[in-house]
Amino acid sequence: MKQVLKTLKIKSLNNGVSTGVESWAGSGKVLNSYSPVDGQLIGKVRQANREDYDKVIENAKEAFKVWRTVPAPKRGEIVRQMGDALRENKDALGRLVSYEMGKSLQEGWGEVQEMIDICDFAVGLSRQLYGLTMHSERPQHRMYEQWHPLGIVGIISAFNFPVAVWSWNTMLAWICGDVCVWKPSEKTPLTAIACQNIIQTVLKKNDIPEGVSSLIIGDRKVGEWLSNDANVALISATGSTRMGKAVGQAVAARFGKSLLELGGNNAIIVTQNADLEVVIPAVVFGAVGTAGQRCTTTRRLFLHESMYEEVKNRLVKIYAQLRIGDPLDMHNHVGPLIDTDAVNNYKTAIANIQNEGGKVLCGNEVLTGNGFESGCYVKPTIVEVESQTSTVCHETFAPILYLMKFKTLDEAIELQNAVPQGLSSSIFTLNMREAEQFLSYAGSDCGIANVNIGTSGAEIGGAFGGEKETGGGRESGSDAWRNYMRRQTNTINYSTQLPLAQGIKFDL
Ligand code: NAD
């Protein structure tokens, strides 16, 4: 890890505030970053205070005045170089993501690959920020719409995708002409500093104004400053529904824009027409991957009664064989939870579901002893439930899978939709009618609905996000770029008259 930290320019005490080219020690308290892998201190960060924050915003405002005048394809060229810089650092950054957050090394590298992919996507997009043209009802008039940059985009991110979510936002915002201020999770500050260090080399080389990419490390207070700040045109916030409610209300109160990516409670429906050889790996990866700490983790499994026992028994057998341990060791399937608070949430949820009548089929254990010194390793758990009690309806960010039986597809879809969240969903079936019903207006109410693949592991090309308490935001692919721009409708009169719309007469 020493070599990784050196490559990424992470020191034992790091500056927590940076305006792209300049970085300075924050004036706030020191934050320690411990690894959930082995409980070791990785590094410290000097956090920001309000004065630091104000300085960052002033620099960002100045940078915007310059950045918005750079042609979009030229901004794309800068993002292309950022993609190359990330390629050069993929191994080291992926390892740090894995060590600081606790996800498997494969997923750590995957997260960096996702950042590279979004850079490529954004480069292409930088020549495609299309607006429409319309036919005017008036002679010798032309109408069209164009898209302009918004200004400062504030990004509040969660611990579980400590770097990819930032890149989904920044790479698009940058080609759109915005400048970005990032408040990463206080649980993963070092991966954020590593990203800023990588980006800085590109900004410096190209003489880009300071403030195009700012980083400001601190706790939720910094998130609140951003949410309440009228200088920040858009807040893109990823995290819990509790956080999203607070941010959404604060931003709405000042008529700002918000893009909310919040909690999920994702389900898979397995019908009697499913191919179980595809179902089993999808369910296991969806439920235990990233130790159940993905917003798209499979938390609920609806099984047709005809195969309920078979799938249940196969899952319990596989869970017994899962290797839990150091996520940097590629032989292991399941790494740690982020911290001991998350372990407590796991224990509380299992105790609650048992009180509500749930039957634990396997798991329900916090691991101790050699290799588990951090106290963050838990056994993935399967619980059989008869109905969706309050614990089932709540997102517990841990590897707990609830099994339920159904008779008809109508019933399964209704159950699937009967939770407050609406992020990701899947059906496993080889029957075309069942698949189409699930995808129809009368089917899944989620932002993501899949057929014969699991709920997690989205590609960057699609718009990502969900409905209801998931917040309604869409990021990444498709036309999500429009969130980062403002639309302007233009009407141009090249005649010698002044005809009014709707034929209104106004004679002088
Ligand atoms: P969290 O809500 O505790 O924290 C997320 C971020 O919000 C952190 O940076 C935190 O400092 C900040 N924050 C907290 N309260 C705030 C407030 N009142 N005002 C402003 N900022 C505030 O979430 P977490 O534990 O880091 O992440 C896990 C959650 O994130 C889960 O619910 C998961 O489903 C969700 N998530 C959603 C998506 C998605 O795309 N829908 C992606 C990843 C994670």
Encode the chain (508 residues) as per-residue pLDDT tens digits. 999 999 999 999 999 999 988 888 888 999 999 999 999 999 999 999 999 999 999 999 999 999 999 999 999 999 999 999 999 999 999 999 999 999 999 999 999 999 999 999 999 999 999 999 999 999 999 999 999 999 999 999 999 999 999 999 999 999 999 999 999 999 999 999 999 999 999 999 999 998 999 999 999 999 999 999 999 999 999 999 999 999 999 999 999 999 999 999 999 999 999 999 999 999 999 999 999 999 999 999 999 999 999 999 999 999 999 999 999 999 999 999 999 999 999 999 999 999 999 999 999 999 999 999 999 999 999 999 999 999 999 999 999 999 999 999 999 999 999 999 999 999 999 999 999 999 999 999 999 999 999 999 899 999 999 999 999 999 999 999 999 999 999 999 999 999 999 999 999 8
Residues 6+ apart with CB under 8 A from 370: none
From ligand 1's centre to the CA of 34, what distance in Å? 19
Residue bearing the CA closest to ligand 1, atom 21: 223
3-state helix, strand, coil in the chain (%, to 5): 40, 20, 40
* CA atoms of 277 and 361, how far apart (whole Å): 21
From ligand 1's centre to the CA of 398, what distance in Å? 15
Query: For ligand 1, what atom is nearest to the CA of residue 184?
Result: 9
- Is the ipTM reported for this complex over the cut 0.90? yes
Query: For ligand 1, what atom is nearest to the CA of residue 183?
Result: 9
Query: What torsion, rounded to 10 degrees, do the Cα atoms 303, 304, 307, 311 define?
Result: -10
pTM: 0.97
- Alpha-carbon radius of gyration of the chain: 24
Residue bearing the CA closest to ligand 1, atom 20: 223
Residue bearing the CA closest to ligand 1, atom 43: 295
Q: Are 319 and 382 in contact (CB under 8 A)?
A: yes
Enumerate residues lining ligand 1, CB below 6 A. 156-161, 183, 185-186, 219-220, 223-224, 227, 238-240, 243, 246-247, 261-264, 295, 395, 397, 423, 470
Q: Are 276 and 311 in contact (CB under 8 A)?
A: yes
Residue of 156, 217, 228, 299 to test ligand 1 pocket, by largest number of atoms within 8 Å of CB: 156
From ligand 1's centre to the CA of 146, what distance in Å? 33
Strand partners, 13: 44
pLDDT digits (tens, 9 = 90+) for 469-479: 999 999 999 99
Query: For ligand 1, what atom is nearest to the CA of residue 156?
Result: 9
Residue of 243, 376, 424, 467 to test ligand 1 pocket, by largest number of atoms within 8 Å of CB: 243
Determine whether 114 is an active site residue: no
* CA atoms of 170 and 374, how far apart (whole Å): 33
Q: Are 150 and 176 in contact (CB under 8 A)?
A: yes
Catalytic residue among 210, 261, 395, 469: 261
Helices 164-175 & 105-125 angle (0-180, nearest 10)? 10
Burial per residue of 163-185, b for 16 or more beta-carbon CB atoms within 10 angstroms, e otherwise: bbbbbbbbbbbbbbbbbbbbbbb
Residues 6+ apart with CB under 8 A from 404: 300, 301, 302, 303, 385, 386, 387, 388, 415
From ligand 1's centre to the CA of 290, what distance in Å? 16
* CA atoms of 331 and 23, how far apart (whole Å): 39
Nearest to 263 by CA among 109, 52, 10, 466: 466
The label of the residue with tokens 């879809």 reads 413
Query: For ligand 1, what atom is nearest to the CA of residue 227?
Result: 20
From ligand 1's centre to the CA of 240, what distance in Å? 4
From ligand 1's centre to the CA of 434, what distance in Å? 35
What are 218's two structure tokens?
């601190």
Sequence letter at residue 144: Y
Distances (CA, A) of 470 to 159, 287, 395, 473, 482: 17, 19, 11, 8, 20
H/E stretch holding 43 reads strand 41-46
